[in-house]
Chain A
Amino acid sequence: MAVRVEGKFFWAADKKFCLKGVTYGPFAPNEEGAHFPAREQVRRDFAQIAALNANLVRVYDVAPVWLLDTAKEHGLKVWMDIPWQNHRCFLDSEKLMDEARRAVGEAVAGTKEHPAVFAYSVANEISAEIVRWSGTKRVQRFIDELIGIAKSIQPDCLCTFTSYPPTEFLTSEKADFLAFNVYLHDRGAFEKYLQRLQHLAEGRPMVLAEFGIDSLREGEERKCEILHWAVESAFRCGLAGTVLFSYTDDWFRGGFQIEDWGFGLTTRKRTPKDAYAVVQNRYREAPYFELAKPPKVSVVVATYNGGRTLEACLESLRGLNYPDYEVIVVDDGSTDNTAEITKRFSEVQCVTQTNQGLSAARNRGIAAASGEIVAFTDSDCRADRDWLYYLVSDLQRAGEGFAGIGGHNFLPPEDSAIAAAVLASPGGPSHVMLTDTEAEHIPGCNMAFYKWALAEIQGFDPVFHAAGDDVDVCWRLQDHGYKLAFSPAGFVWHYRRSRVREYLRQQSGYGEAEGLLTQKHPDRFNAFGGSVWKGRIYSRALGGVLLQKPIIYHGVFATGFFQCLYAPQPALPLMMCTSLGYHSCVTVPLLMATVYFPILLPLAIACIAMPTGLATLAAIQAKIPKGKQRIWSRPLIALMFLIQPIVRGWTRIKVRLVTSAAATNLPYYQLPEQEKRACAFWTQDGLDRCTFLRALVARLQKHCPVRVDHGWGEHDVEISASPWNRLRLVTVTEDLAQQRRMYRCRLEGSWTARTKALFLLTTAAVAGAINVLAETNPWWWMLLVALPFLYWFAEDDKLQLQQHAMATMEELAAESKWSRVTESESGKIAGMRTADQ
């Protein structure tokens, strides 16, 4: 039965196929010249391997058909390495390359469609020095070529190449799964490295192709101990399988019998060692190791007119591999057949409400949930069978301080080519990782949180109707000091928008959410309204164009044991050229100016060519899922790269203009001119500056967005109470004798990017109008008066803000029993210091 890849796992027919394997050989050549034992010995060996609860043998030579038949008899699959001279600089020799091509072709042709064949590995552990010598890209291309040869003979065969930590940077686009040989004896390091490899594998299965312990050097007891946790760790990390090195100590390599290594589970005479029993037990239990007190999970599906995909979603949730869970569908006032579909699933608890938006629906779900953990997915998602198992397992393993977890959302294999193009277009739901294990953001279609954590932050903010609720929750949890984990194997299939119009509508919703988020979390956005992430965004669209090459750490003399690839960050500032702001400030004014000044036409054309070129480049670099690429896919992606920022930017600006925070709720006192910007407080108690600032932030946050400086700026707090101005508060303590203190506060106001842009645009418009029209009618010069009026408006707004902020500070200071002192009094108090001294 052929094995296929679906998401992060292998499937045989309708069951997951989890690799539990051992390596077999290479052995001294037998009578037929092959590096395998005699047939009778193979039969005995395979019986012993089957008794180990293993289901796969990995061989380092092309298996003869009789060996495959024997494997089949024992219910084993064979993973074949195809040997060729990859220990030499093969790319320097056309002959060696031809030999490799021939070896792959002959191996696949000779074993084609044998039911015992699991996969072919077209190369094993190519030396890091050789890769550096020949060039990473050339080696990658050659590996892909070899896989292409195998696929041309048997299109549905599984192919990979086997890598190891020194060539961690080497990847293959065509490999069906990632295979790594890893030998690490420390559990923490081992698990961390597997998490890292899971990120490299992205949406493909990850297999531990070799791992093992030497009985001679480590001792049998230590070997048993390490193998005991290693098998469990590998499967708990969501790997699709493990292959243990090796079945026996009988090992022949480089023309010699290896005598001083004892990696086998059996001796050379096939006598089982202690480790055999350990692995036998672990393999019996694998891949689902018991969870420690599995908590009840409530799966919440909030849906609004999601009837098209709801049935598939609920069907997938019906058969989850988890001992204790409930499914709650919150129908957010749907007008389609949602209610009717939900009724068909008797085990599903249905909550109905009038249409109040996504966040309100999710909050209803939380209220109805009886689980310790609340997991969220969407009606356009289909959960993997082990989704909850891995989410809970990884959340439990993450330990204290972690309040939630999320995972991948993959494109279902049956989804359309347009959906695949949408996946590769900008703005899709993706995760952001701070480290290999800690996430900064997890997408709303696949996330789970402890219920107590959601209660602590009062659940989702109902202001988010269609999107942005997940981002808000993640940020608020992090603001409360909690962390978010990531589960590489706890994934869902996510149906993308299958029409361009639907995609643009979705992006418009995201723009609206961003506009609201900017108000709520100003510290997470830059001056241009773009979100600022501390971590790395994992998205097929990359979020921009890559202009730099990746950097590979080879180590001194290319001897690094872990030779990592540092992928470049997309050139996000350059992508500003596709933004709405760029078009409205540069492209459109320039095009209009060309009517009067045709000389500007080349510049205008260049300004249009820039975003077009960037969108094209981004489309070329976008990763379209295998088998989903059509001739129109990349032009469509380029078009979406052009349109998406405009659509999203427009709704973002609209929301920001409509819902800009009002400072009028803050207290307001008319203060003398000089006291609007600076003040001083005098205290005799011990209340310190930081406590005062924290209290001030808490008070201000009730009325307007407040951003606490992360430590890189020269101010304490930034107050964004108006769309036109922001205030920066700087404070200082002057310690006087007898615990007396004086606190000085200074409010520095400055125009926001919006005000600056408005002023610049008005100036440009006035200058343009005068330049063109003043000659025919000199009264156009009077337009100049618009500028001081605008300046007056902006500065007056700043003064008002300063009054509000200063009054708030004064109010708080009065509550803290601090006395306000004037400039002259503060001078006198400062003088007391000298006197005291």
Chain B
Amino acid sequence: MRFARRNRFALMVVGVLLIANALVLRQYRLNASAHRELREDLIVLSEKGHSKEAEWTYQKLVQALPGLTDEALLDEIARTGALVDEKTPQLNSLVWKYHWAVKRNLEKRSEQRVARAIKRAERE
């Protein structure tokens, strides 16, 4: 008790630091789930032919891609891959375009990873 009273301010800082960390994680989760929601919106809007709204949603999704984790990107590929034919270009389909944007993003990350790995190997 005496320790807590003496160090109450430091403890308070630590407490808030922990809470802030928890809030950061929560925010990441919220962001991911918000992204999933937006992706589902794009799929539905495209299906129903709301092209204007779908275009806006598509833009939002593409802008958010760099901030997503690799796992989230894989999840995106899995979901959109089930809806489009990967081999046939469908330039009028926003879902197909989004699928390719995600794939390209993932490929870019893979290339960067490979380049980093080669560099590391060369260094060692």
User: Which A residues fall within an 8 A CB radius of B?
Assistant: 673, 774-779, 781-785, 787-789, 791-792, 795-796
Q: Say yes or no for B31: interface residue by CB 8 A criterion.
A: yes
Q: Which residues of A contact B31 (CB under 8 A)?
A: 775, 778
- Contacting pair A795 B9 (CB below 8 A): yes
- Contacting pair A781 B24 (CB below 8 A): yes
Do A673 and B13 form a contact, CB below 8 Å, given A775-B31, A776-B67?
no
Q: Say yes or no for B78: interface residue by CB 8 A criterion.
A: no
Q: Say yes or no for B16: interface residue by CB 8 A criterion.
A: yes
Q: Which residues of B contact A796 (CB under 8 A)?
A: 9
- Contacting pair A788 B9 (CB below 8 A): yes
Return the contact of B24 from the options A782, A787, A788, A789 (Cβ within 8 A).
A782
Residue of A nearest to B5 (CB): A673
Q: Which residues of B contact A776 (CB under 8 A)?
A: 67
Do A784 and B23 form a contact, CB below 8 Å, given A775-B31, A795-B9, A796-B9?
yes
Do A784 and B20 form a contact, CB below 8 Å, given A778-B28, A791-B12, A792-B13?
yes
Q: Which residues of B contact A673 (CB under 8 A)?
A: 5-6
Q: How far is the CA of A788 from the CA of B19 in the complex (A)?
A: 12
Task: Among A775, A779, A781, A792, find the residue whose CB has the most chain B CB atoms closer than 10 A.
Answer: A781
Return the contact of B16 from the options A775, A778, A788 (Cβ within 8 A).
A788
B66 → chain A, closest Cβ, in Å? Answer: 11
Residue of B nearest to A770 (CB): B23
B11 → chain A, closest Cβ, in Å? Answer: 9
Residue of A nearest to B14 (CB): A788
Q: Say yes or no for B93: interface residue by CB 8 A criterion.
A: no
- Interchain residue pairs with CB less than 8 A apart (10): A777-B67, A778-B25, A781-B24, A781-B27, A782-B17, A782-B20, A784-B16, A788-B12, A788-B16, A789-B13
Residue of B nearest to A779 (CB): B24
| 8 A Cβ contacts from B9-51 to A | 9-10, 12-13, 15-17, 19-21, 23-25, 27-28, 31
* Interchain residue pairs A-B with the least CB separation, the first 8: A778-B27, A792-B9, A781-B23, A784-B20, A788-B12, A778-B24, A788-B13, A788-B16
B68 → chain A, closest Cβ, in Å? Answer: 12
Residue of B nearest to A783 (CB): B20
Residue of B nearest to A774 (CB): B27
Do A787 and B67 form a contact, CB below 8 Å, given A778-B27, A782-B24, A792-B9?
no
Residue of A nearest to B27 (CB): A778
Q: How far is the CA of A612 from the CA of B67 in the complex (A)?
A: 46
Do A781 and B67 form a contact, CB below 8 Å, given A788-B9, A795-B9, A796-B9?
no
Q: How far is the CA of A781 from the CA of B6 in the complex (A)?
A: 27
5 more A-B contacts (CB under 8 A) besides A778-B25, A782-B17, A796-B9? A781-B23, A782-B20, A788-B13, A788-B16, A792-B12
B12 → chain A, closest Cβ, in Å? Answer: 5
Residue of B nearest to A674 (CB): B5
Q: Which residues of A contact B20 (CB under 8 A)?
A: 781-785
Q: How far is the CA of A40 from the CA of B77 in the complex (A)?
A: 126
Residue of B nearest to A781 (CB): B23
Q: Report the tally of A-B residue pairs with Cβ distances under 8 A.
A: 47
Q: Which residues of A contact B21 (CB under 8 A)?
A: 781-782
Do most interface residues of chain A lie in helix, strand or loop, or is the interface mixed?
A: helix
Q: Which residues of B contact A783 (CB under 8 A)?
A: 20
Q: How far is the CA of A785 from the CA of B31 in the complex (A)?
A: 22
Q: How far is the CA of A791 from the CA of B9 in the complex (A)?
A: 8
Q: How far is the CA of A258 from the CA of B123 in the complex (A)?
A: 127
A759 → chain B, closest Cβ, in Å? Answer: 14
Q: How far is the CA of A788 from the CA of B12 in the complex (A)?
A: 6
B67 → chain A, closest Cβ, in Å? Answer: 7
Q: Which residues of A contact B15 (CB under 8 A)?
A: 788
- Contacting pair A775 B27 (CB below 8 A): yes
B72 → chain A, closest Cβ, in Å? Answer: 14
Q: Which residues of A contact B25 (CB under 8 A)?
A: 778
Q: How far is the CA of A792 from the CA of B16 in the complex (A)?
A: 12
Residue of B nearest to A796 (CB): B9
Q: How far is the CA of A775 from the CA of B27 in the complex (A)?
A: 7
B57 → chain A, closest Cβ, in Å? Answer: 16
- Contacting pair B27 A785 (CB below 8 A): no
Q: Which residues of A contact B5 (CB under 8 A)?
A: 673
Q: How far is the CA of A792 from the CA of B10 in the complex (A)?
A: 8
- Contacting pair A784 B19 (CB below 8 A): yes
Q: Which residues of A contact B10 (CB under 8 A)?
A: 792
Q: How far is the CA of A662 from the CA of B20 in the complex (A)?
A: 35
Q: How far is the CA of A774 from the CA of B31 in the complex (A)?
A: 10
Q: Which residues of B contact A795 (CB under 8 A)?
A: 9
Q: How far is the CA of A777 from the CA of B19 in the complex (A)?
A: 17
A307 → chain B, closest Cβ, in Å? Answer: 59
Do A785 and B13 form a contact, CB below 8 Å, given A774-B27, A779-B24?
yes
Q: How far is the CA of A21 from the CA of B21 in the complex (A)?
A: 91
- Contacting pair B24 A785 (CB below 8 A): no
Q: Which residues of B contact A782 (CB under 8 A)?
A: 17, 20-21, 24
Task: Among B5, B9, B25, find the residue whose CB has the most chain A CB atoms closer than 10 A.
Answer: B9
Q: Which residues of B contact A787 (CB under 8 A)?
A: 16
Residue of A nearest to B9 (CB): A792
Q: How far is the CA of A781 from the CA of B67 in the complex (A)?
A: 17
Residue of A nearest to B64 (CB): A776
Q: How far is the CA of A791 from the CA of B16 in the complex (A)?
A: 12
- Contacting pair B12 A785 (CB below 8 A): no
B7 → chain A, closest Cβ, in Å? Answer: 11
Q: How far is the CA of A673 from the CA of B9 in the complex (A)?
A: 14
Q: How far is the CA of A781 from the CA of B10 in the complex (A)?
A: 19
Q: How far is the CA of A789 from the CA of B27 in the complex (A)?
A: 23
Q: Which residues of A contact B19 (CB under 8 A)?
A: 784
B89 → chain A, closest Cβ, in Å? Answer: 32
Q: How far is the CA of A782 from the CA of B57 in the complex (A)?
A: 30
- Contacting pair B28 A785 (CB below 8 A): no
B30 → chain A, closest Cβ, in Å? Answer: 8
A781 → chain B, closest Cβ, in Å? Answer: 4
Q: How far is the CA of A375 from the CA of B64 in the complex (A)?
A: 77
Residue of B nearest to A799 (CB): B9
B63 → chain A, closest Cβ, in Å? Answer: 10
Q: How far is the CA of A414 from the CA of B13 in the complex (A)?
A: 67
Q: How far is the CA of A787 from the CA of B25 in the complex (A)?
A: 20
Q: How far is the CA of A775 from the CA of B15 in the complex (A)?
A: 23
Q: How far is the CA of A784 from the CA of B16 in the complex (A)?
A: 7
Residue of B nearest to A795 (CB): B9
Q: Which residues of A contact B67 (CB under 8 A)?
A: 776-777
Q: How far is the CA of A783 from the CA of B20 in the complex (A)?
A: 8
Q: Which residues of B contact A775 (CB under 8 A)?
A: 27, 31
Q: Which residues of B contact A777 (CB under 8 A)?
A: 67
Q: Which residues of A contact B23 (CB under 8 A)?
A: 778, 781, 784
Q: How far is the CA of A673 from the CA of B20 in the complex (A)?
A: 30
Q: How far is the CA of A370 from the CA of B67 in the complex (A)?
A: 83
Q: How far is the CA of A761 from the CA of B12 in the complex (A)?
A: 20
B20 → chain A, closest Cβ, in Å? Answer: 5
B116 → chain A, closest Cβ, in Å? Answer: 23
Q: Which residues of B contact A788 (CB under 8 A)?
A: 9, 12-13, 15-16
Q: Which residues of B contact A791 (CB under 8 A)?
A: 9, 12
A153 → chain B, closest Cβ, in Å? Answer: 79
